[in-house]
Structure 1
Amino acid sequence: MEEGTRVQASPTCEDGQQDGQQNNQSTIRQLWTHSWFQILLISFICFCCPGMYNALTGLGGSGQVDQTVAANANVALLSATAATALFVVGPIFDRVGPRVCLLLGGWTYPLYSGSLLCFNATANGAFVIAAGAILGIGASFIWVAQGAIMTTYVPESQKGRAIAIFWIIFNLGGGVGSLASFGSNFHSTSGTVSDGTYIALLVIMALGWLMGVFICPPSYVRVAQLEVKPQSEKNWRKTMSQAVGTITNWRVLCMLPLFFSANVFYSYQQNVVNGMTFNIRTRSLNGALYWMAQMVGGLVIGLILDMPGLNRRMRARVAWCFLFATGMGIWGGGYAFQKWFDRRMALGLKQDIDYTDNSVSVGPMFLYIFYGCYDAFWQSFCYWLVGASSNDPAKAAVLVGAYKTFQSAGGAMAWRINAIGKPAMTQFAMDWGLCMGALVLAIPAVLTVTLTSESDPDAVEGTEMRESDEKARVEMKD
């Protein structure tokens, strides 16, 4: 009897092990396909790739004494992004999905860091500029995939906090990279960063590229509002038609000046405010503070965009007012700095301020921090408007492609103006005017933000009823 019992027990044990393995696999799959796991994953990928790139550019001239090569590389990068993001990468995303796009684009980041390492040894500026152009194409794949994931993989009520979480983790990359550079160049007197800085950033960028294999396609993500197009409906003609139809919508046209201005101030802030004012170690420290300020800025604007007690229309208007008020205040402070900067340049004073010189360093450093905050306000608001337009990853990819195209076109123009040596006051006035003008032109798009992006009329009605009930509960509590 005991032998018989043992014989019967054996398959039961194996069945239990199989059930346990299936449960473990199910748990892992549920975690992998959870919307917030994917948001965190894309955030850490961007921490490693664009985040480390930001650490480089935040040093002023990508850490080089001669800023012209880095400025021209940025022109090549942004021009390539502008040429490919909308009508090349957007349709490709619709056919192959985010994982393939991330793998196609991620390797170009370590290539760019390697070109700067090579420049330190050989002064081969052509390689840096060519690597910048290749990175521009790769960045299109990265940012279109990132934008589609961030704006559609979470419920509508959580899009503001998804943008905030992404912005915090992504800019932590720039902050950590800049702090590492600050430590490695603390005693440097050469004016250029060390080879070790470029090597460390290259390794981290390569790691971020490899993490792209863990991104899952939209059809796997468990979000009720996520609209996934059937494979049978995907073809190049329909994809291109959708892209043209999306970009020519009058609401999107009103948002294009916002997109164009999203990176227009980087060249002035990084190469003039930081790059021409401070010494190398303080530029590294400022870079860290700039990207950390973006983390705070992303959190603040995320809370505003998901503010409880207000429907989506009201949140859009409150966020616009916040951007306009803070923009006028910060750029107004920038005007005072620019007049002071011009007086110093007339005396031949440049790249000489150390963070320990409290009498002259505190004001410009805090201005640079506020510039970082405002960048987070601006770009988060742009992404939120994209997310408020559609829950379809394919349409979101087109909108993000439009965003990156016009953002890169504006950035390329600004970097070229910086590279040809236009006066700093001219660059400052252009940036301030474009930003405030773009906000004014975006008013019609902001005023027509709908309560929901759902295509089902019953879902829209249900959303309005839920928001009405929520408002009533808030009023009763008050």
Structure 2
Amino acid sequence: MGRNPVNILGGFQSASDRGDGNSSAWYRVYTYPWFQILLISFICFCCPGMYNALTGLGGSGQVDPTVAANANVALLSAMAGTALFVVGPIFDRIGPRACLLIGGWTYPLYSGSLLCFNATANGAFVIASGAILGVGASFLWVAQGAIMTTYVPESQKGRAIAAFWIIFNLGGGVGSLASFGMNYHSTTGTVSDGTYIALLIIMAVGWLLGVLICPPRSVRIADMQASPEVEKSWLKVAKLTVKTVCDWRVLSMLPLFFCANVFYSYQQNIVNGMTFNIRSRSLNGALYWIAQMLGGLIMGVLLDTPGLNRQWRARVNWLFLFVTGMAIWGGGYAFQLWYDRRAAQGKKQDIDFTDSRQSVGPIFLYIFYGMYDAFWQSFCYWLMGAQSNSPAVAAILVGSYKTFQSVGGAMAWRLGAMGKSAMLQFAVDWGLCMGSLVLAIPAVLAVTLTNTDENSLDEVDLKYTQPESGEDHRA
């Protein structure tokens, strides 16, 4: 079966769309890689962005964070069990649009469960919704990662990550600012019903936008590798999954993936949730996600530095991540000593942002924590994008990322739900993050100049998509 000609913007036109009419112009824009990057960014603005606005409040806006912590454990456990060996292979069969539609509706469900909890205190529904969201989030994030890391040329991957991170975290920032305004005069410690309703509506809009996502075969760029449709089978996808994950470069990246969300529980429930009152927690949540936007922009610039080849960019950015991590977590240690002294006096959830004597230091620490999260995850995505230009391989890599990220996050949220000391949670987070950076050095040093190099993971994909002898390839 013949391929459609490539249009001037990098997409493929169908026969019905070729010509000079308005439909042709729209199709060229629709299949333009950067249009799709911005679209998936806005979908994540609406769905996980609003979810982040909820979790950033500490305890998802509740006085007692235990139910929200257990819901997060259920969410992350479900994601860990499905992202790699369930959703990754399914993505290669059904494509990103179907994955987004399957997964997106679970976000408004979770917000609705918190609305229900405000009225009925039904914690079981919140936890069950968290588990369902874990499966849905696997579908959404695998599709997002494959789009972000393969729909643009290698030289633009850092910018694609930056653009996504800015728009996505704008969702958390806007949602938190809205919550700040709606709860400015609140004295209950719990966010209002209107907050949950507003976030639910925005999440539903993001889910519906998934119908506009374009499949990889329609968004072609020069260095994208794609498996022929006829070659896709469950057995070959399973072989490709095992071969990709067992590659030594990917194995050395797994500790980085494990730590990608390990600090959320401590930062959101202790640094923010147990230190500030409800309106200040909302404001801090906004600042946290806005800081992530700035962090994504900084990493986007560093990861696409034109004066350095890709190998040196990997090394420079690893060093940047290590140095800034030690500095920020070092400041976090000073905060934790101060927090422990206050906790011994029975003080919690009492600091208001207007009390500059006590609030300035913790607020700035929380801002830098948010910025470092963007540094970390942007670097992880860039490393994955440096392994392959194939959407099939990218989906597997993102699936492994989400699996191990979720395992680490579930472990951390469980520590919080079990009531482990704040100092213990802090020490675990700091130690794991710096240790995983050291373990990732082999993967960083192995980054090639381009994914068409002989040793890149694209070679793995090509090997496992070669036609078998005697196989019929008629369309």
Across the aligned residues of Structure 1 and Structure 2, the Cα RMSD in angstroms comes to: 1.4
Amino acid at match of 2:53: A
- Distance in 2, matches of 1:297 and 1:363, equals 19
1:204-215 correspondence to structure 2 within 5 Å: 204-215=202-213
Aligned to 2:469: none
The aligned residue for residue 466 of structure 1 is: none
CA offsets per residue over residues 406-443 of structure 1, 9 Å max, x none? 00000000000000000000000000000000000000
| Shift, 1:124, TM fit | 0.1
- Supply the distance in 2 between the matched residues of 1:181 and 1:19 (Cα, whole angstroms): 45
Tell me the residue number matched to 1:76: 74
Query: Is 2:18–2:24's contact at 8 Å kept on the other side of the alignment?
Result: no
1:22-421 paired onto structure 2 within 5 Å: 22-421=20-419
Aligned partner of 2:355: which letter? D
User: Counterparts of 2:18 and 2:165 in 1: how far apart (Å)?
Assistant: 38
Q: What is the SS of the residue equivalent to 1:348? A: coil
| 2:464 corresponding residue in structure 1 | none
Cα distance between partner residues in 2 of 1:20 and 1:37: 19
- For 1:136, the aligned partner's letter is G
Q: Aligned equivalents of 1:454 and 1:86: distance in 2?
A: 25
Question: Any idea what the Cα deviations from partners look like across 1:228-259, whole Å, max 9, x if unmatched?
Answer: 11111100000011000000000000000000
Identity %: 77
Residue aligned with 1:390, SS: coil
How many Å separate the matches in 2 of 1:184 and 1:405?
Answer: 35
Superposed CA deviations along residues 2-35 of structure 1, whole A, max 9, x for unmatched, are xxxxxxxxxxxxxxxx999852111100000000
Change (3 A) 1:388 1:287: same
Which of 1 and 2 has greater Rg?
1
* Unpaired stretches in structure 1, ≥5 consecutive residues: 1-17, 461-478
Query: What amino acid maps onto 1:289 in structure 2?
Result: L
Flag as ranges the 4+ runs of structure 1 deviating above 3 A.
18-22
**5+ residue gaps, structure 2:** 1-15, 459-475
Q: How many residues align?
A: 441
**Structure 2 Cα separation of the partners of residues 92 and 20 of structure 1:** 31
State the 1:227 CA deviation. 1.1
Partner of 2:466: none
Structure 1 Cα separation of the partners of residues 179 and 237 of structure 2: 43
For 1:455 and 1:83, how far apart are their aligned partners in 2?
33
Letter in 2 for 1:45: I
Q: AA paired with 1:75?
A: V
- 1-side partners of 2:19 and 2:83: how far apart? 42
Q: Tell me the SS of whatever aligns to 2:131.
A: helix
Paired residue secondary structure (1:276) = coil
For 1:105 and 1:374, how far apart are their aligned partners in 2?
Answer: 28
Change (3 A) 1:34 1:287: same
* Deviation (angstroms), 1:226: 1.1
1:361 counterpart letter in structure 2: S
Distance 1:324 1:167 in 2: 20
Displacement, 1:162?
0.3
Secondary structure (helix, strand or coil) at the match of 1:427 reads helix
Which structure is higher in helix share?
1
Q: Give deviations 1:267-317, integer Å, cap 9, x for gaps.
A: 000000000000000000000000000000000011000001100000000
Offset at 1:223? Answer: 1.1
- Compared with structure 1, are the counterparts of its residues 315 and 20 closer, same or farther at alpha carbon in structure 2 (3 Å cutoff)? closer
- Equivalent residue letter for 1:445: A
Per-residue CA shift, 1:80-114, capped at 9, x if unaligned? 00000000000000000000000000000000000
Q: Distance in 2 between matches of 1:215 and 1:20?
A: 20
Q: Is the 8 A contact 2:159 2:304 kept in 1?
A: yes
User: Deviation at 1:222?
Assistant: 3.1
- The Cα offsets for residues 126-152 of structure 1, whole Å up to 9 and x where unpaired, read as 000000000000000000000000000
Q: Which amino acid aligns with 2:25?
A: T
* Cα 1:19/1:301, change in 2 over 3 Å: closer
Render the CA deviation track for 1:369-404: whole Å, top value 9, x for unaligned: 000000000000000000000000010000000000
**Residue identity matched to 2:182:** S
Task: Measure the CA separation in 2 of the matches of 1:454 and 1:37.
Answer: 25
Amino acid at match of 2:450: T
Q: Which amino acid aligns with 1:286?
A: N
Deviations along 1:190-231, whole A, 9 cap, x unmatched?
Answer: 000000000000000000000000000001003111111111
In structure 1, distance between residues paired with 2:26 and 2:185: 47
Distance 1:20 1:152 in 2: 25
User: Per the alignment, do residues 20 and 439 of structure 1 end up closer, same or farther by CA in structure 2, a change over 3 Å counting?
Assistant: closer
For residues 48 and 105 of structure 1, the distance between their equivalents in structure 2, rounded to whole angstroms, comes to 13
Give matches, 1:426-465, under 5 Å. 426-454=424-452
Cα gap change, 1:20/1:329 in structure 2, threshold over 3 Å: closer, same or farther? closer
The CA deviation at 1:66 is: 1.0
> CA–CA distance in 1 between the matches of 2:232 and 2:332?
48
SS in 1 for 2:144: helix
Question: CA–CA distance in 2 between the matches of 1:97 and 1:453?
Answer: 22
Tell me what 1:464 maps to: none
For residues 392 and 256 of structure 1, what CA distance do their matches in structure 2 show? 20
Conservation of the 8 A alpha-carbon contact between 2:225 and 2:391: yes
Corresponding residue number in structure 1 for 2:465 = none
Q: Is the 8 A contact 2:186 2:278 kept in 1?
A: yes
Contact persistence 2:183–2:279 (CA under 8 A): yes
